[in-house]
Amino acid sequence: AKWVYDFGDGKADGRADMKNLLGGKGANLAEMASIGLPVPPGFTLTTEVCTHFYQNDCQYPKELEQQVEKALNLVESRTGRKFGDSTNPLLVSVRSGARASMPGMMDTVLNLGLNDTTVEALAKKSGDRRFAFDSYRRFVQMYSDVVLGIEINHFEKHLERAKEKRGVKQDCELLPEDLEKLVKSYKAVVQLELGEEFPEDPKAQLWGAVGAVFNSWMNQRAKTYRSLHDIPEWWGTAVNVQAMVFGNMGNDCATGVAFTRDPSTGKNEFYGEFLVNAQGEDVVAGIRTPQELTIRARQSHGSDLPSLEEVMPNIFRELLSVRSQLETHYKDMQDIEFTIQQGKLYMLQTRNGKRTAPAALQIAVDMANEGLITKSQALLSLKPDLIDQLLHPTLDPKAKKEIIAKGLPASPGAAGGKVVFSADEAVRRCKDGEKVILVRIETSPDDIHGLHAAEGVLTTRGGMTSHAAVVARGMGRPCVAGAGSITVDYAAAKLTVGSVTVTEGQILTIDGSKGEVMVGEVPTVPPQLSGSFGTIMQWADEVRDMKEFGAEGIGLVRTEHMFFEGQRIVAMRQMILATDEADRRQALDKLLVMQREDITELFRIMDGNPVTVRLLDPPLHEFIPHTEAEMALVAKAAGVPLDRVRRRAAELQEANPMLGHRGCRLAITYPEICEMQARAIFEAAAEVGRSSKKLPVAEVMVPLVATVEELKLLKGVIEKTADAVKKEQGITFTYKIGTMIELPRAALQAGRLAEMAEFFSFGTNDWTQTTYGLSRDDAGSFLPEYKAKGIVEHDPFVSLDPDGVGELITMAVQRGRSTRPEMKMGICGEHGGDPASIEVCEKIGLDYVSCSLFRVPVARLAAAQSAL
């Protein structure tokens, strides 16, 4: 097997698209080398070495040593230097490089190959003894820390003492002989701490560093980072070994970082900074003020330090040509690192640059207009989720944030506010003009007023289709759901996570686009729609062929969600808790009025576009009252004794409400519910039909159907009601009756259901739940583990499972269309707003996807992408 890939001298074994094997850094170093950019030669130990290492008790594959040896020889011949040589020594850096960048999480060793012999050669070659011994000193310290595990303060004591002795404050004021002595004391520390000598043999150093990098994949920092950023453990890291170049050998040396375009606005302007006579770390550390690259930037920032364009005009020109070469090659904005050693430019890294959402759109539009990419490529280059960021406030990318917990990114946008633990408190504080974040273990319809009053919602339990997630998305409130590491104590009005405690009134910020929770106020930036947004949406609409987003129709009216608030939930509860038909009809009469009003308004707004109204599907546990006060309200409204309500509520408790008495099952038991809803819909249709030019298109949808008989029975009730309304009102209207397919049995029966149903709408939330046998409400607690272990790649409630649910959909489509060839079919689960799922739907040949309003532009872009 091939474990080692080399690069340098215009050649490379690897390529940019081999990130999984070589890590991001290694893959791009290979790519840059092969397109002839000045990359210091080196080689990459693949991520498969890492996997092998962990699967085999920290043993390397047996061919590895030989392959490293060979690759090292190649670096020696490419640089004309030799590892450990006493006149012309090769020094290398050893760095980690995973598929996804994990800044600062894993270990790095620089200047490797220095020892008592090679340091003299370095001194002679550079003509700078101070530089040589300073590099040596840093190397011994870094290696001892990273590889040998000796605490840094052991060395820092000696450094302080050396400065005291010399009577200076800064490290750089030490003389070469001071540094030489320091190296000796550092090595003595190693001897004392470990009982063995610091390794002088460069090969031993190399293997030590390689092992340390692989080991650092499992250090606590890296583990935490991975769990916060959804990076699976089994990916492993690669290790890059590369010839050292020095930006700190004098004033003809420098080091810098740049973006090929402005990452915050997207403007086509070279953007970056550099430091003369410095190492990469110095730029990041921010000890010295970096200089601008261009004269233009220097002038616009009013800096009095000269730009690279001025101090090293030749290098600057070369860098400009690298910039355009990289953009032409990668067809994307790049984030680069470079070093200038004694007047020669070296490229140390390139990767697709991180950018703000507005910048991403600007860059895509500009690059298409510049002819660098096609319009299609521009559309494909944008992650549809990015659109979310444009429509919602986002965290200021420059702001510092300390993430204390991570949950599911349930509803996009960022928000901060004072923590409250109850909906009532949220409303109270909101009335006083305070901004609040509502924190609940989970939410129910009782919390709706709080969800509405709050800036954002955080729950510790529940998945992407939990109540909080679905409702927050519908309201456009940011939501982080199922942040399981947080413990909420309602009684004490506080939450704890690890060692952090947050009490009511303290400030918390959540980022619903990323699922992050932060203590304190993190500044946000308001959504901004630029001209490039319009351009992208226009290009997207030119190519997509799936229909019915937003203004093109409503794919799912969840009627139970219309009864969440105020008096409405009381009437709804009265209906659910009624013990006989008379009581139920009394409540239904109230609901009829509200329902008719809502639907009339919807038909008006939709102006002849189809509106799919789903019959009630209330999971009972979301609606049964829990507190005495709530029960009292219901008792009063119904005019029955409180005790009866209490008893009935207890009776209705279910062990598995999501699989319980919900959906069409409710209407099967109580057909008068179906009758009321049908009446509301048809009376609304009659009224709007009478007064508007365009006739309403009513589609009545029956949820959670498992058998043909269920649909048959309810279809009968609906049709009978339609006929009655037509007769009463003396007007005709058209309508369709369809069914949701969201249970495997319904999928199997799709052929027969299609005899009766005029359309199918696939409820992929319940379908996922029942196909996987995975509770929508509980899966959030263990799915992250499944992701980390690579058992599932994505949360199936977020991204439609193509092999299971997708297969069933395909089958249902075929069976349905074999009965009724032109049948309209689409999905209405939460997956309708997820780009990857939309692609699956496009492939299956669905007619439309439906999603919450705020995700419509996301869906437009995703539909265009899957049509391309």
Of 255, 248, 257, 256, the C-alpha closest to 277 is 248
Q: According to CB under 6 A, which one of 327, 447, 548, 617 is a site residue for ligand PEP? A: 617
Closest to 759 (Cα-Cα) out of 700, 808, 708:
700
Beta carbon of residue 359, minimum distance to ligand PEP (angstroms, whole number): 35
Pairing of strands 82-83, 42-45: unpaired
CB closer to Mg ion out of 618 and 763:
763
413: left (phi over 0), alpha (psi -120 to 50) or beta: left
Task: Report what 828 binds from ligand PEP, Mg ion, none; CB cut-off 5-8 Å by kind.
Answer: ligand PEP
Per CB under 5 A, contacts with Mg ion among 739-758 are: 742
Closer Cβ to ligand PEP, 280 or 763, answer by number: 763
Which residues contact residue 246 at a Cβ distance below 8 angstroms, ignoring those fewer than 6 apart? 126, 131, 135, 253, 279, 339, 341
Q: How far is the CB of 734 from ligand PEP (least distance, A)?
A: 25
766 assigned binding-site residue:
yes
**Given 52, 392, 449, 467, the catalytic residue:** 467
**Residue 44 touches which of Mg ion, ligand PEP, none (Cβ within 5-8 Å per kind):** none
Nearest to 684 by CA among 557, 830, 820, 831: 557
Smallest gap from residue 814 Cβ to Mg ion (A): 22
Closest CB to Mg ion among residues 380, 748? 748
Q: Which CB atom, from 309 or from 617, has the smaller least distance to Mg ion?
A: 617
d(CA 460, CA 261): 40
Strand order in the sheet with 500-503: 487-489, 494-497, 500-503
Q: Minimum CB separation from ligand PEP for residue 777, in Å?
A: 11
CB of 370: closest distance to ligand PEP in angstroms? 43
- For 679, the token pair is 């009446």
- Residue 763 among known ligand-binding residues: yes
Beta carbon of residue 766, minimum distance to ligand PEP (angstroms, whole number)? 3
Confirm whether residue 765 is marked as ligand binding: yes
673-694 as b/e: b if 16+ CB within 10 A: bbbbbbbbbbbbbbbbbeeeee
Q: Smallest Cα–Cα separation from 710: which of 656, 745, 667? A: 667
Site string for ligand PEP, 550-589 (x = CB under 6 A): ------x-x-------------------------------
Residues 464-493 that bind ligand PEP (CB under 6 A): 465
Residue 679 annotated in ligand binding: no
Catalytic residue among 253, 828, 841, 851: 828
Scanning 260-268, 301-309, 737-745, 801-809 for contacts with Mg ion by CB under 5 A, the matching segment is 737-745
Binding flag, residue 622, Mg ion (CB under 5 A): no
Q: Is 115 annotated as a binding residue?
A: no
Is 261 or 831 the residue whose CB approaches ligand PEP more closely?
831
Interacting partner of 829 out of Mg ion, ligand PEP, none (Cβ under 5 to 8 A depending on kind): ligand PEP
Closest CA to 841 of 817, 796, 809, 803: 809
Which one of Mg ion, ligand PEP, none interacts with residue 764, CB within 5 to 8 A by kind?
ligand PEP
Alpha helices in 741-829 (DSSP H): 744-748, 750-756, 764-772, 783-788, 805-819
Instruction: Give 423-428's long-range contacts (Cβ < 8 A, gap of 24+).
Output: 423/447, 423/448, 423/449, 423/450, 423/451, 423/453, 424/449, 424/450, 425/450, 425/504, 426/450, 426/451, 426/453, 426/454, 427/453
Residues between 410 and 469 with contacts to ligand PEP, criterion CB under 6 A: 465
* Residue listed under structure tokens 């800044």: 103
**Residues 6 or more apart whose Cβ sits within 8 Å of residue 45:** 3, 4, 64, 68, 210, 238, 239, 240, 241
Name residue 30's amino acid: A
Binding mask 759-778 for ligand PEP (x = CB under 6 A): ----xxxx------------
| Closest distance of CB 776 from ligand PEP, Å | 8
Nearer to Mg ion (CB atom), residue 658 or residue 680: 658
Give the tokens for residue 772: 């996987």
| 467 part of the active site | yes
> Rule CB under 5 A: is residue 766 a binding residue for Mg ion?
yes
Any known ligand binding at 28? Answer: no
Which partner in Mg ion, ligand PEP, none is near 699 (CB below 5 to 8 A by kind)? none
Residues 819-838: x/- map of binding to ligand PEP (CB under 6 A)? Answer: ---------xx---------
Planar angle of CA 317, 321, 322, nearest 5 degrees = 115
The answer to whether 89 touches 81, Cβ cutoff 8 Å, is yes
Q: Which residue has the tokens 């810098």?
A: 256
> CB 657 → ligand PEP: shortest distance, Å?
12
Closest to ligand PEP by CB, 403 or 615: 615
**Contact flag: residue 763 with Mg ion (CB under 5 A):** yes
Q: How far is the CB of 706 from ligand PEP (least distance, A)?
A: 13
Phi-psi region of 23 (alpha: psi -120 to 50; beta: other; left: phi over 0): left
Question: With CB under 6 A, what is the number of residues at the site for ligand PEP?
Answer: 11
Go through the chain and tell me how many residues it has: 868
Residue 661 designated active-site = no
Strands 108-112 and 735-741: unpaired
Q: Please choose, from the candidates 325, 291, 330, 320, the residue with its C-alpha nearest in 3D space to the C-alpha of residue 308.
A: 291
Nearer to Mg ion, 687 or 766 (CB): 766
- Residues lying near ligand PEP in the complex (CB under 6 A) are found at 465, 556, 558, 617, 742, 763-766, 828-829
- Residues lying near Mg ion in the complex (CB under 5 A) are found at 742, 763, 766
Could you tell me which residues are annotated as the binding site for Mg(2+)? 742, 766
Active site (catalytic) residues: 467, 828
Could you tell me which residues are annotated as the binding site for substrate? 558, 614, 742, 763-766
